[in-house]
Chain A
Amino acid sequence: MKNDGLSLRQFWRTLSTSWTVFLHAPIDVRRFAFVRIGYALLILIYLAILYPDLETWFGPTGLYPAEVDAETKLPQLWSVLRWLPTEPLEAGIWLHRIFWLHIACTLLLLSGFCSRLNALMVYVLLISWQNRNPLILDGEDGVFRLVGFFLLLMPSGRAWSIDRLLWNRSVKDACALAPAWSLRLLQLQMVVIFVSAALYKLGGAAWWDGSALSYVVRLDDTFGRFRIPAWPFEIPILVRLMTWTVLAVELIAPLLLWFRETRRWALLAIVLFHLSNEYAMCLFLFHWIMLVGWSTFLTSGDLQSLSRFLPRSAP
């Protein structure tokens, strides 16, 4: 038997076929819709929190004044808010108009009307708020941007949407499929987030010696959302185990998600990880937007199983 290695042609062919299979496999369009709905709901909460302080954060005389923005802005960090009038009163009026436009587009996205167009509007306005004032941002805002970006590429209006009712009635009794590539990209992005977070942590001594969580639980700005027992954090071995569990989940679970046998267990571990952190820490919507991102790993079978928990009308 000839065994002188793989030819470049064979390798390229195998690689391109696998990549094509991975990206273009048709999947249940409800998976796109799930992301759309989750994302739109979170954006509504995100905006609601911004609303009371619109002028403070984004106004020309707010805490990030227009002249500071003009001095520090980078050309690639664009924002439509920079086109606002410089007169504070007028700028305030326009800020509110843009805000309500954003809300309207988000509601339309939620209901799935002109989904792609509204996803674009929501995305552009979200970037505009964020780039106008970087002082109030943290990691979760980056996740919001990325999920919004990949949502632009998804045919998210093909299920659970007004778009489907309007334009796709003829297939109401069929299970619609669409190429997976946009969802795959978001899946890859989620994996990159988790794995890179773990790799960054591996560069720190506190994560190796297991003391990292002991510091985290004493931070005044993030920890202490709800009451938790103090004793596990006083016992060194337990703190170490918890610290290493964080590393293990971030490093291993995203890889196990890709295998049929381990996917649900890995997904369960990730969900528990986020929910437990959400319970203990004040990270705003970080864990929820991450869960929206992870929901891309729910297959139609999972959605079917989940739907059994929903109330049903009597036959």
Chain B
Amino acid sequence: MLIFLEQMREFIAVAVLDGAHQMKVDSERDVASRFVNHQVELAQFHFHFAARAGSGWDFGRAGAVASPVTTSMSIGFGWFRAVARRFFFGMTASMSTAVAGRFFFAVAIVLGGFFSFGVVGVGVAVLVGLGGGRSMVVELRLHVGSARDKHVGQHAFGENDDGYQNCHKNRLEHDEPRLQHENGPGDFIANLGCSWRAHYIRATPAALAGGVCLPHLATVTIMPTPPTATGRSDHWLQLRRRCINGMAAILFALMVLQGMPLNINAASYAARWLCDWVGAGHYGWSMFAPDPDRQNHRISAEIMDSDDHVLATWSMPRWPEHSSLVRFRQHRWNEYYDNVWMNHHSRCWPALAQHIVRTTKRSPGNEAAPKQVRLIAETKTLSIPSGSRWPKPGPPEGYDDRWVLSIEPLP
């Protein structure tokens, strides 16, 4: 029974927290010792179980178990077993247990139960506990891990969803076989056909508590699954899964429309517009494409007074002359100079002119107040590689074109 309770504790705590979980059960002894030594974990189990099932009683139990001060308040194991059975297999906490649970919960919390959960845990407990009596179903999937355990038993309870069954089977075959293998003592995949599945806990006491199968468990996968019988929760899970599927399909479509060179500009624009609202927009992935740049460029400037006299000259850094560390640190400047010289960014040129004046040192005799800045662009076109020897790596010297971008008056 201890083994059973311990397993249930871990199963459900994990299921509540993670949604889907796989754990390894090493041995009967290991499970039993963990049960004895980890009171706090036991309390957490109650807490998570209660959070899931909305059971005030279990909050009380959690608080009581968690706090050494209130351990003495822990209600007897028999009662626990009885009510636990109700929780595990009956699924619904009755009004009386819920009310009693809230009482115990309140007392336990006051006496120190919150040491385990903290303020947030208490808040969640109160909120969920007030809702008490919600049904809870956990789907267990039990698998035989090694060849020698092959024919211990097979049980399938209430599984009527072929799609999901196939999905489960495919998942094990297709995804993470290594993980499955590592967590099980035997070749998990080879024994796939010997897996058991139980749809509801209420249907599994014989399989779980009968003692026939427990020593043979290798891996256990748990997924919280709403009952098909009650309808509502099942629909909720289905709906959630469908929503995720739909959202994934939409996001994938947006990825393709935004990123791929599809030449359907209106759709790509719409996709980008939509993605921009959530911050995930971009202009496609045309890196060095369709052809790499065939031009190096440089921006320079002449700071002038009113007489067209050049007070100082300025030029953007020549990047190949800098160390890789400097280039890394100056990366944003590199991008800025790469973009700002384009005509559609001409609105930013006055700010660039002022920045140049602020940061450029002038030689003695040229301290007159500058009146304007002449921004100059220079370009060097890269030669087309031909012949038996192509050009060496590295930018060619000099620039073969030069023009004035703008003359920016200073305020």
Q: Could you tell me which A residues sit within 8 Å of B by CB distance?
A: 13, 16-17, 19-21, 23-29, 49-50, 53, 56-57, 61-65, 68, 71-72, 74, 76-78, 123-124, 126-127, 131, 135-139, 142, 145-146, 148-149, 155, 158, 167-171, 173-181, 184-185, 188-189, 192-197, 199-207, 211-212, 214-221, 223-226, 228, 230, 233-236, 239, 260, 282, 284, 299-301, 304
Contact = CB atoms under 8 A, between A and B. Distances in A.
A69 B101 CA distance: 59
B279 A123 contact: yes
Contact of A142 (B18, B277, B283, B290): B283
Interface in B369-411: 382, 384-385, 388-396
A77 B393 contact: no
A170 B332 contact: no
Contacts of A174: 10, 14, 21-24
A285 to B, nearest CB: 8
A200 B251 CA distance: 21
Given A175-B179, A300-B182, A77 B329 contact: no
Contacts of B166: 17
A192 B348 contact: no
B167 A21 contact: yes
A136 B174 CA distance: 43
A23 B17 contact: no
A179 B20 contact: yes
A120 B287 CA distance: 28
B18 A178 contact: yes
Contacts of B348: 63-65, 68, 135
Interface of B: 9-10, 13-14, 17-24, 40-41, 44-45, 48, 163, 166-167, 170-171, 174-179, 182-183, 221, 223, 241, 244-245, 248-249, 251-252, 255-256, 259-261, 273, 276-294, 296, 318-320, 324, 327-329, 331-340, 345, 347-348, 351-352, 355, 382, 384-385, 388-396
Contact of A282 (B48, B331, B332): B331
B352 A63 contact: yes
Contacts of B336: 63, 135-136
Nearest to B170: A21
B329 to A, nearest CB: 6
Contact of B289 (A74, A76, A204, A228): A204
B291 A218 contact: no
A137 B18 contact: no
A216 B288 contact: yes
Nearest to A134: B339
Given A28-B179, A68-B351, A217-B394, A171 B21 contact: yes
B26 to A, nearest CB: 9
B393 A230 contact: yes
A188 B320 contact: no
B292 A212 contact: yes
Contact of B279 (A17, A64, A145): A145
Contact of B251 (A19, A29, A185, A216): A185
Given A25-B176, A197-B289, A218 B395 contact: yes
Contacts of A205: 291
Contacts of B176: 25-28, 299-300
